[in-house]
Chains A and B, each alone.
Chain A
């Protein structure tokens, strides 16, 4: 059956709230309003205000509340409206959630989920369009998931609920309306493994999140031109699935990484480094990156489009590498 990414997240939340008696959802506008992206629509009615909690505009406060609840044996799902506002909660996330297990000598576990929306492309201006997931992927003690498909939106959260350490789920602002087939039951599912979305032999294209649909489109375009591009959806940004990345690179010898974050110090830079360190003698060309241009995101549509890698940019870059 085809459902949207938004519906998949909604179903996923319902499953989790039903499966785990001590779980609850907290965030800005998650209750009465039904979520800024309508992900938690009708959940307040179904689960009541003990499980669906509208928080005040205080990211640092309700993220800290989530951490405390998890320490105390609850299974909280914290929704931060966007990754831009999560900056306020970085102290809680990085300086408490990520390290409490280390600092307590392994005594305290933190089964905490934090969901947030990332990415630009919706004309929301410079302060609402960032892609900071690469920063979060820098932090030991966190696991970072980035669902780019309806299937992952449907099932990643459910699997993440079994973790005993904090998991951050990065949803993408441009994906909420995509509609795809979604299986009712999964045979094999591991949210921490990267997936080959297309098998090819000429180049390995590594991406995640909101860039995946564009990369798939570019892959189809390159097929018309006679090139077979292998597309990897990272899915998990920390820990990175080295095995899948390296085996593809060793097979195809050429790499492009498409990352919505800024180029300097990006997740793409980390992946590029790992490839160079581990696959150097299998490379037939430098490891190339296509990233967001290093500007704050402008408001006008045409300028915003010029900053974030477009389908056309990916095709041009691929042609350049494969020429």
Chain B
């Protein structure tokens, strides 16, 4: 039986991938979880695994080809194995949840169940209804309008001050490489997550940056609900928050970021995630801009912008010039709540965190 191996999606924002290397050839027997190719995405080069056992009949794409997600890249002969995902799999859904789906014109086949046996429960349908509402508010024209009014309000009401600091990342990048070596692709630490973790750690030391300005008063937040800007292909940007990010390890944060991006793009955000952020990070770096001076997301009082991580000439302690990784980190902060001195110390703290990566936690 033939099985068409598709280009997998290696992240919610991936549309296409470039085949960098084939690790199998026609006639090979492939085991489950065997690495079969390396694929370059906008973020990095990732090894892809086979989810099936079989014999390679044909490689349809060559090294260097850019392939859309879902497009067939190879054909396997699968001996005696029933191909489940080409047939319709039976989805477990509680009778009450099914009825609620019908009443609300929701297709439960598009949902993921969280019940004991993976079944879709009433709670799942309620969450879906909730997120659908959120989705409606924050889509298309509505989203544009929401951004317009919020950003205008911020620029009108909030006296911003801006600081910029260039941070050397050689230590961090080295540590990340070592840490990610021999780790399953799905669990590898992403660079933006390390930057986020450094910001979270620094916020714990500088609580004046984390909270809400309301009724001419600043209120600290005891928890850090870390918002980060997610852009949409069709335009617009949302800033959902990772709730209670202060309690997360790097690995947990990594998972939470991937989860939030996926759900944001699928329209499955929870309303709390959109309303309870206490601080925002915007990362424009993956599009190549070196620095970004963001507009504070009211009622929050500060925002960190992350630029493009790149190699630049660095003058080291012996006054020698060498190439090294740097990033420009910017702070936009509310002058009603903090002053530049505090902002500068906050940026120094982030620098310190990024230059002792093994203690990021």
Asked if chains A and B come from one complex, the reply is yes
What is A's interface to B at a CB cutoff of 8 Å?
253, 280-285, 323
CB atoms of B121 and A281 under 8 A apart: no
Q: What 15 additional pairs, Cβ within 8 angstroms, besides A282-B96, A283-B94? A: A253-B96, A253-B122, A280-B95, A281-B98, A281-B99, A282-B95, A282-B99, A283-B96, A284-B96, A284-B97, A284-B121, A284-B122, A285-B94, A285-B115, A323-B116
> How many B residues, CB 8 Å from partner?
10
* CB contact list, B91-114 vs A, under 8 A: 94-99
Complexed CA–CA distance, A177 and B98 (Å): 48
9 example contacts (A-B, Cβ-Cβ < 8 A) are as follows A253-B96, A280-B95, A282-B95, A282-B96, A284-B95, A284-B122, A285-B94, A285-B115, A323-B116
User: Across the interface, do A285 and B121 meet the contact criterion of CB distance under 8 Å?
Assistant: yes
- Within 8 Å CB of B97, what residues of A? 284
Q: Point out the residues of chain B lying under 8 angstroms from A283, CB to CB.
A: 94-96
The 9 tightest CB contacts between A and B, nearest first, are: A284-B96, A284-B94, A284-B122, A281-B99, A281-B95, A283-B95, A280-B95, A253-B96, A282-B96
Beta-carbon nearest neighbor of B116 in chain A: A323
For chain A, what secondary structure do more than half of its interface residues adopt (helix, strand, loop), or is it mixed? loop
Q: From A286, which residue of chain B is reached at the shortest CB distance?
A: B94
A313 CB to nearest chain B CB (Å): 19
Residues of B154-186 contacting chain A, CB below 8 A? none
Question: Which residue of the partner chain B has the closest CB to A253?
Answer: B96
Set B96, B115, B116: member contacting A281, Cβ < 8 A: B96
- The distance in angstroms between the C-alpha atoms of A323 and B114, with both chains bound, is 11
Min CB gap A316→B, angstroms = 15
Whole-angstrom distance between the alpha carbons of A285 and B120 in the complex? 10
Contact surface of B with A, Cβ cutoff 8 Å? 94-99, 115-116, 121-122
Q: Kindly provide the distance from the CB of B100 to the nearest chain A CB, expressed in whole angstroms.
A: 9
In the bound complex, CA of A263 to CA of B115 (Å)? 25
How far is it, in angstroms, between the C-alpha of A293 and the C-alpha of B82 when the chains are bound? 41
- Give Cα A281 to B93, complex, Å: 11
Q: How far is the CA of A283 from the CA of B95 in the complex (A)?
A: 6
Bound-state CA distance A253–B94 (Å) is: 10
Q: Chain B's nearest CB lies how many Å from the CB of A249?
A: 10
Query: In the assembled complex, which residues on chain B have CB atoms less than 8 Å from the CB atom of A280?
Result: 95
Given the complex of chains A and B, what is the CA–CA distance between A281 and B122 in angstroms? Answer: 11
- Most-contacted residue by chain A among B94, B115, B121 (CB, 10 A): B94
Measured between alpha carbons, how far is A323 from B121 in the docked complex, in Å? 12
Residue of A nearest to B115 (CB): A285
Q: Which residues of B contact A284 (CB under 8 A)?
A: 94-97, 121-122
Contacts of A285 in B (CB 8 A): 94, 115, 121
Closest CB-CB distance, B183 to chain A, in whole Å? 31
A321 closest partner in B (C-beta):
B116
Q: Which residue of A has the minimal Cβ distance to B119? A: A285
Residues of A within 8 A of B116 (CB): 323
CA distance A51 to B116 in the complex (A): 60
**What's the Cα separation between A151 and B104 when bound, in Å?**
46
A281 to B94, CA, bound (A): 8
State the Cβ distance, B356 to closest chain A Cβ, in Å: 40
Residue of A nearest to B96 (CB): A284
Question: Which chain A residues lie closer than 8 Å to B115 at the CB level?
Answer: 285
Residues from chain B with a CB closer than 8 A to the CB of A323 are: 116
Looking across the interface, which residue of chain B has its beta carbon closest to that of A280?
Answer: B95
Q: Which residue of A lies closest to B99 (CB)?
A: A281
Considering the chains assembled together, what is the distance between the CA atoms of A323 and B123 in angstroms?
12
In the complex, what distance in Å separates the CA atom of A293 from the CA atom of B97?
32
* CB-CB nearest in chain B for A320: B116
CB distance from B128 to the nearest CB of A (A): 14
In the bound complex, what is the Cα–Cα distance between A284 and B113 (angstroms)?
12
Cα A285 to Cα B113 in complex, Å, equals 13
| Bound Cα distance from A101 to B246, whole angstroms | 75
Instruction: Report A293 CB to chain B, min CB distance, Å.
Output: 23
- For residue B175, give the distance in angstroms from its CB to the closest CB of chain A: 39
Q: Hey, which chain A residues are within 8 Å of B95, CB to CB?
A: 280-284
CB B331 to nearest CB in A, in angstroms, measures 41
**Chain A residues whose CB sits within 8 angstroms of the CB of B122 once the complex forms:** 253, 284
Interface centre among A281, A284, A285, A323 (most CB of B within 10 A): A284
CA distance A105 to B97 in the complex (A): 49
Tell me which residues across on chain B come within 8 A of A281, comparing CB atoms.
Answer: 95-96, 98-99
Most buried by A among B96, B97, B116: B96
The smallest C-beta distance from B99 to any residue of chain A, in angstroms, reads 5
Q: How far is the CA of A282 from the CA of B122 in the complex (A)?
A: 10
A253→B96 CA distance, assembly (Å): 7
What is the bound-complex CA distance between A282 and B103, given in angstroms?
Answer: 13
Residues of A near B94 (CB, < 8 A) are: 283-285
Report the Cα distance A280→B94, complex, angstroms: 9
Cα separation A282 to B94 with both chains bound (whole Å): 9
Instruction: Write out the residue numbers on chain A whose beta carbons fall within 8 Å of the beta carbon of B98.
Output: 281
Q: Once the chains are docked, how many angstroms separate the CA of A285 from the CA of B115?
A: 9
Q: What residue of chain A has the Cβ atom nearest to residue B121's Cβ?
A: A284
A281 to B116 alpha-carbon distance, docked (Å): 19
Report the minimal beta-carbon distance from A17 to chain B, rounded to whole angstroms. 51
Least Cβ–Cβ distance between B111 and chain A, in angstroms: 14
| Contact residues in A for B99 (Cβ distance below 8 Å) | 281-282
Distance A293 CA – B96 CA, assembled complex (angstroms): 30
Which residues of B lie under 8 Å from residue A282 when comparing CB positions? Answer: 95-96, 99
Bound Cα distance from A285 to B124, whole angstroms: 13
Residues on A with beta carbons closer than 8 Å to the beta carbon of B121: 284-285
> In the docked arrangement, what's the CA distance between A281 and B95, Å?
5
Distance (whole angstroms) from the CB of A251 to the closest CB of chain B: 11
| Complex Cα gap A282–B99 (Å) | 8
Residues of B within 8 A of A253 (CB): 96, 122
Once bound together, how far apart are the Cα atoms of A280 and B116, in whole Å?
A: 19
| CA of A280 to CA of B93, assembled, Å | 12
B23 to chain A, nearest CB (A): 43
**Chain B, residue nearest A283 (CB):** B95
